Amino acid sequence: MKDKKGLYYYPFPQNKQIRTYVRESEGEILFRLWSKEDPGLWMEHGWVPYGAIKRAAGMFKRGSFDPDQAYDIRVAKALVEESG
């Protein structure tokens, strides 16, 4: 999907209030979260390269947040390829 912010998908399909935006820059996939419930999230956190996400994912051992679901590289690549 696409809007004025760019390409996005719903990382948690049951919750349409959260979107993961994706783009490609210099051959690297970048991610950025948006939440209707937390408007400041978009401004507080910029575009994050996938490599940095994978390195940080080790900090999330258990809990409600799944970084592999929120930042799905397969979905991101498919969106970028389809748009290009």
The strand pairing partners of 33, in sequence order, are 20
Domain chopping of the chain, boundaries: 2-83
Residue 66 banded pLDDT, cuts 50, 70, 90: confident
Which of 39, 27, 80 lies closest to 19 in space, CA to CA? Answer: 39
Strands 48-49 and 18-25: unpaired
**Does pLDDT of 60 surpass 70?**
no
Exposed (0-12), middle (13-18) or buried (19+): which is 11, by Cβ within 10 Å? buried
CA distances from 75 to 8, 20, 38, 63 (A): 9, 10, 23, 22
Each residue of 25-58: pLDDT tens digit? 999 999 999 999 998 999 999 999 999 988 877 7
One-letter amino acid for residue 25 of the chain: S
Per-residue model confidence (pLDDT) at position 61: 58
**Cα 43–84–16 angle (5° rounding)?**
45
